[in-house]
Every structure is written in structure tokens, then in C-alpha cells.
A and B are shown apart, each in its own frame.
Chain A
Amino acid sequence: MTDLSMTPTVKNDTPLLTVEHLTMRFGGLVAVNDVSFTARNSEITAIIGPNGAGKTTLFNCITGFYSPTVGRMTLRHPDGKEFLLERMPGYRISQQASVARTFQNIRLFGGMSVLENLMVAQHNKLIKASGFSIAGLLGLPSYTNVERESVELAKYWLDRVRLLEFADWEAGNLPYGAQRRLEIARAMCTEPVMLCLDEPAAGLNPRESADLAEILTFIRDDHKTGVLLIEHDMSVVMTISDHVVVLDYGRKISDGDPHFVKNDPAVIRAYLGEEEGEELPPEIAADLPEVAKRAEEGA
């Protein structure tokens, strides 16, 4: 199951993130069990699986909110720097390894304005420029220049997620879909090499889902950022992912391009909930090809 063997030496092909034998236990419960996979730069890697498959736990391990029981997670920046994520405290993963994330239940700074949310995201850059507030308190130009740049970056991303005109709104007052987009913009303002999205399409209508897909492909293609995505919405996953990893009961059951995963019997079994080693009832078995076909058309 390990992907170690396929780590080639060609620089172009070096995976951005390599997860090896990751296991996370909560007491007796094994939420993630010996999962290994890789994610590449400028690719969208989707992690899918039924509810309770351990996707969010995996995410929380990668982004440093949990420290895994066993396993290794290596992040390789395009410039060759390497980070062992399991050894870093939570905030360092964003600060130094440049991994940004969003949350399943949106976590914006609801009482602050949209623009302020994006300024907070550039905290580390700004606080250095403000001389840990001393230059900032004095209003030195060294700080004001950096602040102006930060506002420009914020405006760029606001424009990208079509929220520019709402810049001065209170974030908590935005409609739901806009909040999701703002969270992505906020994560991108940290200028990450890898963006982790926890169910970004949850609660969106089909139009908003399409918008989201567009934003994600833009991030992948124009910013050469690796995107790691947990998603339930198969239409989004199948249309934009370059690589899909399927989890079930904490284990990886399939790994490959969307087409491969879609036709993998193990995945179909997991989703249709068939008991292992049991024959499908004839009527369901007969429907299987059609179900697969419908999924292919994008549900």
C-alpha cells in the first residue's frame, strides 16, 4: 500500500506532501489506520469516503491540530525545503511550512470586517514589518508600505472570489456561500504552498459549487498551489480532481485518478455498503453499471 516506491528523483515530479503510515487513535478508536499517500504541486488531490471514514481526522493531523499516534508527513516546498509536519506545533505548520486550511463548519472572525479577516491572515508578515508593533506604533514607513502591499493582496483575492464590493462588511453578515469563499480567500492570503479544504462545497447550491470549482482550478493552475480537498459533492470531486484517495473506516481503500477510483470495486462496495464477501442482490448488481455511468456524467 505504500507509495514510497513511486517517489521518483525528477524534481518536477517530487510530491509536495508525502504521508506515510499515518495512524491516529482516540482511546480505543482507530480513526485513521495506516494511511499513506502523496499529493503533488499544482494538482488537486481529493480525499473522499463515507461519513466517519476519518477524512477530517486525517486533515487535522496534516494541519497540526492533532498529533498523530504513528506516521510521518513530509512536506517538500518547490524550493527544496523539507518539513516534517508531525513534529511541528499547530501554528508553525501554517507559519513556516505554508500549509493553509479551511474548516468544515466555517470559522471566520465573524465580528470583524471581510478585509480585516484577510489582514489577520497576513499576520506573520505584518507583525515582522511592524517591528512587533514598535515601528507600527510610531507609524514608520517600513510598516505602512508592507501594510499597503497586504491590502493589495487582500484586494486581489477578494476580487478572485468576487467579494471585493463586500470588503467593509462584517464577515458574519455575509451569506453562507460568500463566507465559504471568504474562508478560501483568507487561507490563500497566507500565501500557502498547499491549501487544505475541508468540505468546501457543503451547503452550497449547484451554482455556487460550480463557482467553487472554478476558484479551485484557478488556484491550482495560476498559483501552482497544491490543493488537498475533502469533499462529499461528487460532481465537484470528479470534475476537478487530478487524484483521488478513498478512505473507509480509517483505511485507504483506493488511490488513483478519478476515473480509476470511480470504477474500483472496493470503492463501489464501500459506498453501497455491501458486507464483505457477500454477493450483491441481483437487482442492485444489475443497476451498478448505470449508477457508475450516472456518476461519471457528473451526477
Chain B
Amino acid sequence: MTAISVSSPRAIAWPAIIKEAALTAFVALLLTVPLVGLRTVDRPTGLGLETRWNEVVAAVGLVFLGRIGICLIREGQGVLVLVLAAAAAAAGFFIKMPTEALRIILIVGGAIIAIRAAMAVRTGRSKLSQAERDKRMDRIAAKVQDASRWLGPIGVVLALAFPLTPLADRQLLDIGILLLTYVMLGWGLNIVVGLAGLLDLGYVAFYAVGAYSYALLAHYFGLSFWLCLPLAGLLAAFSGVLLGFPVLRLRGDYFAIVTLGFGEIIRIILVNWYQFTGGPNGISGIPRPSFFGIADFTRTPAEGTMAFHEMFGLEFSALHRIIFLYYLILVLALVVNFFTLRVRKLPLGRAWEALREDDIACASLGINRTNMKLAAFAIAAMFGGFAGSFFATRQGFISPESFTFIESAIILAIVVLGGMGSQIGVVVATLLVIGLPEAFRELADYRMLAFGMGMVLIMLWRPRGLLAHRDPTILLYGRKGKGAGGPAAGTAAAGGEGIAGGRAK
């Protein structure tokens, strides 16, 4: 089956291809008839049905043709398929399809098949094996990891300089803040998932604890943001310990589901305890941060306080506060990053990674597993709490809506898609997961649809995460020494096996 040369003179097995494509199309038909072909619509008399058979026909047709294309690539007709698929993709821009979605499917599907055909023509093979693809990506990941030594500082400098450039308008700064918030959350969760190998599906709970800590402390006691930030971190860490203590003994998937349950419990409490938390309406009027308690970002400051623009002799601009928030989250995120990079080289971080690799061996070496895991949990929770109180002060309004499971899933997706344990992977994944949908805001409804599909596709393409690569934390012979480039820099196990515990062996 493998390595059929492109110029193979073998006759194309049309009956088999048609049969395969027809089967696939039949499945597509069964999938689309009830949900695509028949739509429920609200009528004054109750629910009614509308039929959209044209969409079903179009979808089934596309699936049929696509399958034939894939079969033909396998049969060694790469060039032919390349031309046809590219033509189809191009035609997608002109042909009128029943819906926009189908047109996008035609264009993207055509493009993907064309790319696969091009690959087949170039390599003379119908398909790269999973292992080969993995090896290629490993090399890329290693290179990126290597480059991050200088890419990282450059990125930080760029991020620092960005608000000062004329490019930085309100909208871009807001997107920057959003991205940095998720980068920070990703880096925070990376400590638990990437380093310690604990699958936490409820990280958003700590984010919520942080946000509500600040909002409530400010609301009831009038405490300032700068006092609340550490308090929120502490409270989140405390809740991490509270949750962690009973559940850290649980293995793998049980642990995952309990953390998910915990996240939901926190959310339900926020919704139901409305006397205290404001319930589903949330809390509004959360005070904005001051300039380190010295000055305010207002045009006319209250008695006894200074205005930021007066203090620095600037013209008043509403952007000042946004820029300040931007720098604040940038610094917070960098603190998390610095912590992680540093702790990896310390016994605590090494113990985490060892726990991820084999926790029974850890016990045999006298490592107190519970304490180590608890530390990971509490520290990650603390960073989540910081991010949460930042979120509260930035938005000025919070409600339980912001802390649903989907948030946890997005943060986890950032960590896993980036490549577990990889700091730069988190940044790349955030750009993909948060940045891309942000860029295609006009697609509104289809955003989450594409997001879900994207998660599946990235996992299929690269199950270990885009930039999964692990650098040793200590080298005997230095980076150019005997080990460098050798097997040490090879496969980052990245805890794929360690995580979620071995199943009953």
C-alpha cells in the first residue's frame, strides 16, 4: 500500500474507488438528513419544520468527490487530483453554494486535498506515516526551542515596545491584553498539566476565585487593587490546597473529572449565593487599578489624589489606562514564565517532572508525592488567582458567565496544543486559539465551530502538541557537548504517558 510510485502504470481500480466513495457519501447522507436537511423553526403555532435538501445534496456531493480525490491520490494520480482539487478550491470563490459554510468547506476541503496531492507528487508517496510526521515536527520543535533563547527576549522587547508605537490603538491593545491574559493562564496551567502531569479540567475555578476575591474585597471593604492582588493570589492558592488535599491521591481520569466537578461547584455557588456574589447578574462597578496607588487614570481625580497625566505632564488620554493594564498583564505573565523557567531547574520542578514520568519511582526515592503535587496545584492556582483579579479590574464587571467549563477547556487546549511543558508552545497556541478567532470576528457563529474542529485537526496532525520538546534542565557537557543533538535532544516524551496515570497495567 505504501510507496506506490506516482508513475505507476497500474490501472485505476474504479469500481473499488466508487464503492468506497459511495459508502462515505452514504454516511454523510445519514449524518446530514436529520440535522442539516430538516430545520426546526419557530412558528406562531409552535415548532415547524423547514427542508433544506439542496444543502444535503451539496454536502453529500462534496464528500463523494473529496473521497474520490483521496482515493486517487492513493492510486498514484497525484497530479490529476492536484489540478482538480485546486480548481475546485478556486471555483469555490465563484460558484454559488446553498450556504456560505458549504462554500468554505469546498474551498478549504479542496485546498487540503490539493496540498495532500502536492505532497504525494513531491514525495512519491500517498501519505506520510505518523512516525515520520512526528519526527519532522520534533525537529521543528527542537529548532524553535533552540531559537527561543533569542526569540524569547526579542518577543518580550517587541511586546514592551508595542504600546509605544503608533500602531497601538484601543482595539489592538485590547486584543493584546486578551492574548496576554490567556498566555498567563496557559503558563499557569502548564505548571500543573505540563510539568506535574496532573490533568486539571477545572482551572477556571481558580481564575474565578481570584476575580471574585478582588471584586468582593473591593465591594465590601473598599480595598484597593494593589492590596487585593496578593490577597486574591493567596485565596486562590488556599482554595487549590483545599481542593487538592482530598483529591490528589486520585489517579488520572478520576482526578480530571473531580477537578471538572470542582470548577462547576464554584460556578454554581457563584450563581446561587446571590446575596453575597450578586448571582447571575454578577458584580459591576469594580474599581479600576490606580498607578501603584499613587495616581489615578482619570481626567479629574478625586480630592487628595493625583491624576496620572498630571503627574507625568502628559495630555489626558483614555489610552493611558489601557496601556497600563497591558503592561500590568505583561509583567504578571512574565513573572509566571520566569518562575516556571527557574523552577524547572530546581528540585521542586524536577520532582514535578519526575512525578509526571513515573510517580511510583518517585515514592521509592523518598519524594513526598502529595506535598509536591499540592505545591504544583497551589502555585498554579495562585497564578490563576492573579490573572483572575486582573480580569476583574480590567473588565470592571464579572459574572459567573465568564467562568464556565469552556474556559477551562480553552486554557487546557492552549497548553496541550502548544505541546505540554513548552513555554513557547503556549504562546503559539494562544495566538492560534484566541488570536485567530479574534481576527475572524465577523464569522461570529462559525467561530466556535471552527475552534472545535481546529482542536480535533491539530490533535490528529500532531498528537503530542505543536511544539512538544523538552530541554534537559542540567547538562554535564554543555549545549555543544557530547549530548547535544544526540538522543538527549530527541523525543520529548512531554509526559504523554505519565499524565493521567497509567491505566491499570
Contacts and interface: CB of A to CB of B under 8 A. Distances in A.
**In-complex A–B contact (CB below 8 Å):** yes
Interface stretch (B133-141, B166-174, B361-369): B361-369
Interface string A87-129: 0001111111000110100011111110110011111101100
A136 B348 contact: yes
A187 to B, nearest CB: 8
Contacts of B495: 111
A91 B363 contact: yes
B367 A109 contact: no
B367 A169 contact: no
B293 interface: no
A151 B476 CA distance: 9
A155 B473 CA distance: 16
Interface in B86-145: none
B365 A123 contact: yes
A63 B365 CA distance: 10
B4 interface: no
Query: Considering residues B363, B368, B495, which has the most beta carbons from chain A within 10 angstroms of its beta carbon?
Result: B363
A115 B476 contact: yes
Contacts of A63: 364
B354 interface: yes
A103 B365 CA distance: 12
A113 B488 contact: yes
Contact of A127 (B351, B470, B488): B351
A92 B371 CA distance: 13
Contacts of A168: 472, 475-477, 481-484, 486, 488
A173 interface: yes
Interface residues of B, number: 44
Nearest to B496: A111
Given A115-B475, A167-B476, A168-B484, A127 B347 contact: yes
B472 to A, nearest CB: 4
Given A90-B363, A136-B346, A116 B493 contact: no
A137 B346 contact: yes
A225 interface: no
Interface in A219-248: none
B434 interface: no
B29 to A, nearest CB: 46
Contact of A94 (B365, B487, B493): B365
Nearest to A120: B354
B259 to A, nearest CB: 24
A165 B367 CA distance: 27
Contacts of B498: 111
Interface in A54-90: 63-65, 90
Nearest to B379: A133
A109 B487 contact: no
B365 A121 contact: yes
B347 A130 contact: yes
Given A100-B365, A126-B347, A155 B476 contact: yes
A123 B361 contact: no
B350 interface: yes
A186 interface: yes
Nearest to A107: B361
Nearest to A90: B363
Contacts of A155: 476
A190 interface: yes
Contacts of B476: 115, 151, 155, 167-168
A130 B348 contact: yes
B343 interface: yes
Interface in A127-178: 127, 130, 132-133, 136-137, 151, 155, 165-170, 172-173
B366 A109 contact: no
Contacts of B14: none
Contacts of A108: 357-358, 361
B491 interface: yes
A190 B365 contact: yes
B209 interface: no
A155 B498 CA distance: 27
B492 interface: yes
Contact of A107 (B358, B367, B481, B490): B358
Interface in B453-484: 470, 472-477, 481-484
Given A109-B353, A119-B474, A136-B346, A190 B491 contact: no
Interface string B237-272: 000000000000000000000000000000000000
Contact of A133 (B348, B362, B493): B348
Interface in B299-334: none
Interface string B332-362: 0000000100110011101101101110111
A112 B472 CA distance: 7
Contacts of A137: 339, 342-343, 346
Contacts of B356: 111
A116 B350 contact: yes
Contacts of B351: 120, 123, 127
Contacts of A190: 365-366
B492 A111 contact: yes
B494 interface: yes
Nearest to B477: A168
A170 B477 contact: no
Given A65-B363, A91-B366, A111 B494 contact: yes
Contact of A111 (B342, B357, B366): B357
Contacts of B494: 111
A88 to B, nearest CB: 11
A123 B483 contact: no
A115 B347 contact: no
Given A65-B364, A116-B350, A123-B351, 4 more contacts: A113-B483, A130-B348, A137-B343, A168-B486
Top-4 shortest CB links A-B: A168-B483, A111-B493, A94-B366, A95-B366
Interface of B: 339, 342-343, 346-348, 350-351, 353-354, 356-358, 360-369, 470, 472-477, 481-484, 486-488, 490-495, 498
